[in-house]
Structure 1
C-alpha cells in the first residue's frame, strides 16, 4: 500500500524545529565552553537518535522511524571535541546512492523493488538502529527497537550488522541491561511470528551464554520497549499493545491498544526456573528507571507510567504540565512473584520521562533518579521537555525528595550520569544532557553536578551543529 499521495512531511512536528534532522557530518576540536569543565570528567558522551538522511516518504512515526545518528562529545583535561556520524546501514547506503528515500516509514509499508535497491535489499524492511547506544565487551552498538544492532568504531564509523557470532540473528532490544557486578548483558527481542518474545544473556566477553529462549506464556505479538534486571530476574512488562498487520495493510494502525487484556509482568529467573507472571490493569511504560530484589522475596520496579500507548504526536505525553488525569508519572511497583500480583504506588505526578540512574547501581537499590521534565509551559510539542528533575529515594519512599532545574529557553534531553572516577560515593558525579535553545537553534552539552543539580550547569559546551531532540545516550569513561 502507499501513503505517498497523502503524506506531507512538512506537517509532521517531529521533522521540524528542534526535532528536524541534520545531514552534515562534522568534526570539531576545542569547543567553546561557558563555565569550567570538571577535571575529573575524562571520556565520551554519546547519544543516538532518529535522524532521517533524506526527506521521509509514505509516513514518519517518531521515535521509531528515522536513520540513526551518533553524536559524540569527548572530554579530557578540561577540553572538549565533537563528532557526529550516521549509522550507515546497507539500506541507507542504497538511499545515498539513489539520492532520495527508497523506504517508507513503518506505517506506510513502502518497500523498494530490485530496480531501486538491488536484489539483496529488495522488498526487505529497513533497519532502524536509531534508538540507543551502548558499549559491551569492547563492542560499541547502535541499537534498533527490536532488530540487529550495528557495530560502530570508536571514531563512530559503521562496521556492520552485529549478530553476536550468528547466535542472535533476529537481533536484540533497544534497551539491554548490563549487570555492573557480573558484566553480563541481558537482552530481549520481540517478533511478529512465534516465538513472539525471547530473551538472552551475553557474557562479559561478548559470547552468548544463554538463549535465545522463548518466554513461556506469550501467545501474541506485542511491543515491549524496555526491560529491567535484578540479581534474580529479568523483568519484562507486557502492556496490551498488540501488532495488527491486517489493519496496517489496509491503512490502519499497526499497533492496537487492547486495555481489556490488561498488563502482565514477567519475572524470568536468570539462573533457571519457570517464568513468574503478575497480572494488573492496563498501563503502558516506555522506560524503566531500575529494579531490585527485596528481602521479602518481592521485586521493586521504578518506572514512568502512562495510561495508554502513544506514538507520533502522542509520544510520551509531551513536555507540558497538563494532560490526562490518569497519567501517573514516576511509579513504584511492588511485585510478588508467588502471588502473581503487583501493587503500584504513585511517587510523583509531574510530567517526566527518560529516567536514568547511576548505572553502577543497576539491579540494586539506587538512591537517585534523574529525568527530563516539563515546567508547565504549553508551547512544547510531544516528547519535548524544558526542565530536569531529580528524585532522592531516601527512607520515605512514598514521598521522595524532588529537585528541579528549569532550563528556560532550552529544550533538554535524557540526563545521563557520569561518576567521578575513584569516588566511593555513588551519588558523586555529573549529569550530562544535550539541550537546544528554542530562540536561536543552538545546541549545548550541559554538565550538571549531582551534589546540587537544581543549581544548574557548571559548564555548557557549545555544539557546532544543532543536535535534534531525542533519544538515548551513554557516558563511556576513558579506561585508566
Structure 2
C-alpha cells in the first residue's frame, strides 16, 4: 500500500496545539509537591485525568478533541501530601512512531496511514488507536478510553497493559463516556461504528464480566456520532443528534462529519431490562456532555429528566483565528421526556457559556443537587474549549455560584466526597489549571461547601499540564 502524500498542513496555526493546549513530551515523576494552603487529610486516593497530547508534531491534520495520543496525569494524595506522575498511553502506533522519531499517522481528517515498509505488515494501512479522552476504574480494570474503540488497560502506576476487549465480549470496544450505576455497580456502555449495526449498547457487571453483549439500537440506519450518554434506574438515555459520518466526502478531501439539522435530534430511552426503545424527537441540537438523568417517579410511564450542556450545532476543531465567541454555545438545559406520549419539553436552566459538567458520581442516574462546570467570564482572548472559571449550579434552587480563576485556565471539575458523608454537598472539587501568563500548572482543591471562595490548596505541578478532557477521583480501596 502506498503512503498517502500529506496535504498541506501547518500545525503552528492550530489553536489546540498552542498555548495552554500545547502538548508535552516528557514523562515525569515528582514526589512531595509544593503546596500552597493545606491539602485536606480526608483526601486519600488518586486524581487522574486523560487528554489528547500528540507525541510528535502532527501531520496532515489535527482535530481537537478527537486526535492526539493519550496522556494520563495523576496526583496521588495521602496524609496531606501529594505526588505526581504523567505517562503516555502506549499504543502500538505511538511505539512505532517513537521508533521512527516522527509522526507516521495523520489526523482523522487527512486519512494518512503508513505502509508496511514504515511500520510492518500488522500496522500497515490501519488507523491509530486514540485512547485520549477519558479514564475510568471498574471491575478491577483501569481503562483509558477512546471516542469509540477498544480502550487500553492501565496499571496502578499508569503503565499501559494493552488493548482491552473484555475477554472478547466487546470486540468493537466502547465509547469514552460509560456510566457506572452506583446502586447496581454495573457499567453501561455504548459503541457506534461505520458499519452495521451502527449503534449498540452493552452492560458490564460489577465484577468486570460482560452481562449483556452488544445490543443494536433500533432506528439507527446510518453511521452517526454520539459522544456521551446518561443513565436512569430504568433507561439508557442516548441523544441522537444529526451528526453523520460521510466517508465519501472524507475521501474526496471534505469533512468526515456532516451536520444535517433538517433531521432533528431524537432522544432514545432504552429500557435496561431489554424492552423496546421509547423516546421523543425535536429540533436539532448537539450535546457533548450530559450532566445527569433520573426517572421522575416510580411508575412505568414516569418522565425522564435529562440535564445536559446544549450546543446549537456540532463543532470540532476550530479555525486558526477562531475565538471562544465563535462557539455556538447554548447553556445548561433540562429536557423532560414522557415515554408514554413521546413528548419532550426543554427548559434553559442557565445561559452561561459552560462545559465539562460533573456531579457527585454516587448520584449518577438519580436526582442530584449540585453540578460543577467549567465556565467563562467573558474574556475574548480564550481559545475554543478554554475556560477561566468554575460554576456550580444548584438544581434545587436554580442558583449559581462562580469562582473566577483570573489568569488560570481551568479544566473539568471532579468531585471527591467526604468519606462517610452521603450528601453531595460535602467534599471537594478537584481540577488541573494552567496559568496563561507563565505556563505553570496547578492541582486545585476547592471546598464544596464554599466553592466561590476558591481553592483551599494548590499543589504546584513541576511540568505544564496541557488543557485536556476527562478524569476521575479514585479513592484508595480498602
Same fold by TM-score greater than 0.5: yes
Q: Does residue 330 in structure 1 map to residue 328 in structure 2?
A: no
- 1:435 aligned onto 2:406: no
Contact 1:448 1:457 in 2 (8 A): yes
Aligned pair 1:155/2:149, yes or no? Answer: no
Which of 291, 294, 310 is 1:305 aligned to?
310
The answer to whether 1:265 aligns with 2:272 is no
- For these two proteins, the number of residue pairs brought into alignment is 472
The CA deviation at 1:425 is: 2.4
Deviation at 1:149, TM superposition (A): 0.1
CA distance in structure 1 between the partners assigned to 2:279 and 2:419 by the alignment: 40
User: Deviations 1:121-169 (Å, cap 9, x if unpaired)?
Assistant: 1101101000000000110000000000000000000000000000101
Deviation of 1:323 after TM superposition, in Å, equals: 5.3
Match of 1:54 among 53, 56, 70: 56
SS at match of 1:328: strand
Instruction: Report if aligned partners of 1:3, 1:108 keep a CA contact under 8 Å in 2.
Output: no
Give the distance between the partners of 2:141 and 2:237, measured in 1 at CA: 24
State the Cα distance separating 1:3 from its structure 2 match.
6.8
Q: Do the aligned partners of residues 99 and 327 (structure 1) sit closer, same or farther apart at CA in structure 2, a change above 3 Å counting?
A: closer
Work out whether 1:388 is the aligned partner of 2:390: yes
TM-aligned CA deviation for residue 256 of structure 1: 0.3
Q: Deviations over 1:330-367 (max 9, x none)?
A: 00000111111210000010000000000000000010
Candidates 402, 405, 408, aligned match of 1:404: 402
How far apart are residue 426 of structure 1 and its match? 2.4
Q: 3-state SS of the aligned residue for 1:312?
A: coil
Aligned to 1:469: 467
TM-score, normalised with respect to structure 1: 0.97
Alignment of structure 1 residues 306-455 onto 2, 5 Å: 306-313=311-318, 320=324, 322=325, 327-394=329-396, 396=397, 400-455=398-453
Supply the RMSD in Å over aligned alpha carbons: 1.4
TM-score, L = length of structure 2: 0.97
Question: Is there any run of 5+ residues in structure 1 with no aligned partner, and where?
Answer: none
Q: Which runs of 4+ in 1 moved over 2 A?
A: 1-5
Spell out the pairing of 1:216-231 with structure 2 (5 A cutoff): 216-231=218-233
Change (3 A) 1:243 1:365: same
SS in 1 for 2:104: coil
Distance in 1 (CA, whole Å) between partners of 2:242 and 2:260 is: 5
Q: For 2:343 and 2:248, how far apart are their aligned partners in 1?
A: 34
- Deviation (angstroms), 1:314: 6.9
Q: Is the 8 A contact 1:3 1:59 kept in 2?
A: no
Q: Is the 8 A contact 1:386 1:410 kept in 2?
A: yes
Q: Is contact 1:2-1:108 (8 Å) kept?
A: no
Contact persistence 1:303–1:332 (CA under 8 A): yes
How many Å separate the matches in 2 of 1:228 and 1:277?
A: 13
